């Protein structure tokens, strides 16, 4: 028997296990997936927890509920990848050998990379919302908060789900308005980018929206340290921003196993061919989802689109055929904008988010780069789609892995 070994049973790894299970000849191939954590989180839902829209239970399931029965699941930490021996050592001392390795170990926030962030006030007046623990702690803090200065701060790029900090800000505006304390809350959005988002046309629209919601944008802010005692952020060029509550999006890094294995860049992301998803260093290693160093968004939709293309490439690799250079960087993201409305953006490596209709030209029903109620319902419906369609590795009707230009105002 030959083995495909998948590292990580998050969004990317789970989708891939389901897809390969349907495509690989099982007389010849074993599929094994390794992950240290038993729980699967619906990560887009973390955003709603601080505002009491979801609870932790709403976003938590067991990983095994989404893995096919005839995929071997190993719940164990990964010690090191040994690509020259086609072998992965686990933390329990055992080793697993592979013919093909798929790295889907994701990205984590690393608050310790931001000087001072963990020193004073972490969990009291400084929080993250990229972990279930962080979101729950923030929900508790916001519940009785009477107002003051809230700062939403991005430490450095790239981050997982680059629109999430904006969504958080829009929802905060809505949440405090609903509570009748919006006038007592000053919201600042502090970012190392020159505007609200990475892509110019979307950034323009979103900058404007921040302004409408009376959020102060502080661009080009490169954090030197957080002073938790004085409750302020200090930049390298000595700008300062005060806060009462800091909502931090800390440095994102790939898993530490990538560093231990000597396979990553300076942020532990694995150098990956941007169109085939093959690792640059080893031809029988492929990389999927947030673990790559690709200039695409780190988002579930991207992992979903990549998985479709990678399934084909794994089969081509097995058959000794050339890989297809089909991945175009396609991302599709809802942006919750508060008050029951939302945006939708659809883009790839080359085409930035623009206005239009989605998924069908003219008909929609969703609007691109425009605020609408339908987009908000799309976002809420997505939770069901995530658990029942996306994780199972099924295509989402009418949405293709490669971006379509139909219906877009280019």
Partner 1 sequence: MATKNIAGVDVNVNEEGYLTDHSQWNREIGEAIAKEEGIELTGQHWKVLEFLQNEVKTNGALPTIRRLTKSGVVDTKTLYQLFPDGPMKKASKIAGLEKPASCV
Q: Kindly state the helix (H) or strand (E) to which residue 207 belongs, with its residue range.
A: helix 200-212
Q: How are beta strands 356-360 and 364-368 bridged, if at all?
A: antiparallel
Regarding 108 and contact with partner 1 (CB under 8 A), the answer is no
Instruction: Tell the smallest beta-carbon distance from residue 297 to partner 1 (Å).
Output: 5
| Among residues 34, 100, 166, 331, the one that binds partner 1 under rule CB under 8 A | 331
Number of residues that bind partner 1 (CB under 8 A): 20
Regarding 111 and contact with partner 1 (CB under 8 A), the answer is no
Regarding 266 and contact with partner 1 (CB under 8 A), the answer is yes
251 token code pair: 């440095």
| Among residues 74, 118, 267, 315, the one that binds partner 1 under rule CB under 8 A | 267
By beta-carbon proximity to partner 1, the closer residue of 124 and 265 is 265
| Among residues 212, 230, 236, 406, the one that binds partner 1 under rule CB under 8 A | 236
Instruction: Tell the smallest beta-carbon distance from residue 156 to partner 1 (Å).
Output: 8
C-alpha to C-alpha distance for 177 and 269, rounded to whole angstroms? 40
Instruction: Tell the smallest beta-carbon distance from residue 298 to partner 1 (Å).
Output: 8
Instruction: Tell the smallest beta-carbon distance from residue 279 to partner 1 (Å).
Output: 16
| Among residues 181, 193, 315, 399, the one that binds partner 1 under rule CB under 8 A | 193
Regarding 220 and contact with partner 1 (CB under 8 A), the answer is yes
206 token code pair: 């979103």
Stretch that binds partner 1, among 81-89, 151-159, 275-283, 305-313 (CB under 8 A): 151-159
Q: How many Cα atoms are found within 13 Å in the side-chain-facing hemisphere of 362?
A: 0
Regarding 338 and contact with partner 1 (CB under 8 A), the answer is no
Stretch that binds partner 1, among 55-63, 95-103, 152-160, 316-324 (CB under 8 A): 152-160
**What beta strand segments (E) does 55-193 contain?**
60-62, 72-75, 78-82, 87-90, 95-97, 100-103, 107-109, 126-127, 148-154, 185-190
Q: 107, 103, 156: which is closest to 306 by C-alpha?
A: 103
| Plot region of 308 (φ>0 → left; ψ -120 to 50 → alpha; else → beta) | alpha
Within 8 A by CB and 6+ apart from 316, the residues are 322, 323, 324
By beta-carbon proximity to partner 1, the closer residue of 135 and 252 is 252
Beta carbons of 253 and 159 less than 8 angstroms apart: no
Judged by CB under 8 A, the chain residues 291 through 330 that form the site for partner 1 are 295-297
DSSP lists the bridge partners of residue 19 as none
C-alpha to C-alpha distance for 319 and 325, rounded to whole angstroms? 16
Distances (CA, A) of 289 to 208, 223, 368, 383: 31, 27, 24, 19
Stretch that binds partner 1, among 103-111, 127-135, 143-151, 193-201 (CB under 8 A): 193-201
| Among residues 58, 265, 283, 405, the one that binds partner 1 under rule CB under 8 A | 265
Stretch that binds partner 1, among 64-72, 133-141, 216-224, 362-370 (CB under 8 A): 216-224
C-alpha to C-alpha distance for 173 and 93, rounded to whole angstroms? 50
Residue numbers at the binding site for partner 1 (CB under 8 A):
156-158, 162, 193-194, 198-199, 220, 222, 224, 236-237, 265-267, 295-297, 331
């Amino acid at each position: 028997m030959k083995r495909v070994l998948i590292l990580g049973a998050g969004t990317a790894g789970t989708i891939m296990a389901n897809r390969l299970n349907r495509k690989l000849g099982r007389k010849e191939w074993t599929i094994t997936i390794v992950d240290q954590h038993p729980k699967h989180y619906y990560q887009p839902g973390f955003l709603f927890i601080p505002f009491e829209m979801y609870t932790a239970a709403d976003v938590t399931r067991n990983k095994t509920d989404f893995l096919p029965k005839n995929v071997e699941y190993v719940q164990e930490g990964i010690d090191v990848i040994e690509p020259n021996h086609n072998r992965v050592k686990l933390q329990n001392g055992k080793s697993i050998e592979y013919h093909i390795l798929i790295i889907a170990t994701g990205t984590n926030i690393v608050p310790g990379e931001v000087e001072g962030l963990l020193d004073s006030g972490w969990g009291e007046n400084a929080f993250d919302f990229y972990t279930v623990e962080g979101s729950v702690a923030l929900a508790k803090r916001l519940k009785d908060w009477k107002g003051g200065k809230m700062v939403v701060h991005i430490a450095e790029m790239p981050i997982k789900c680059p629109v999430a900090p904006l969504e958080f800000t829009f929802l905060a505006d809505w949440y405090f308005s609903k509570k009748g304390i919006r006038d007592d809350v000053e919201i600042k959005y502090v970012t190392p980018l020159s505007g609200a988002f990475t892509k110019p046309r979307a950034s323009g629209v979103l900058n404007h929206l921040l302004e409408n919601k009376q959020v102060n944008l502080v661009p080009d802010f490169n954090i030197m340290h957080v002073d938790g005692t004085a409750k302020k952020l200090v930049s390298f060029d000595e700008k300062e921003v005060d806060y009462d509550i800091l909502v931090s999006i800390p440095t994102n890094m790939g898993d530490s196993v990538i560093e231990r294995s000597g396979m990553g860049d300076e942020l532990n992301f694995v150098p990956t061919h941007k169109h085939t998803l093959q690792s640059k260093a080893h031809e029988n290693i492929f990389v999927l989802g947030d673990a790559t160093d690709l200039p695409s968004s780190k988002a579930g939709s991207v992992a979903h689109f990549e998985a479709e293309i990678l399934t084909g490439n794994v089969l081509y690799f097995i058959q000794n055929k050339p890989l297809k250079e089909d991945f175009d960087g396609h991302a599709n993201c809802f942006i919750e904008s508060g008050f029951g409305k939302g945006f939708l953006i659809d883009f790839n490596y080359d085409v930035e988010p623009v206005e239009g209709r989605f998924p069908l030209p003219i008909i929609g029903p969703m609007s691109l780069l425009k605020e609408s109620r339908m987009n908000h319902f799309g976002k809420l419906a997505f939770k069901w789609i995530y658990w029942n369609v996306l994780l199972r590795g099924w295509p989402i009707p009418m949405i293709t892995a490669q971006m379509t230009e139909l219906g877009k105002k280019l």
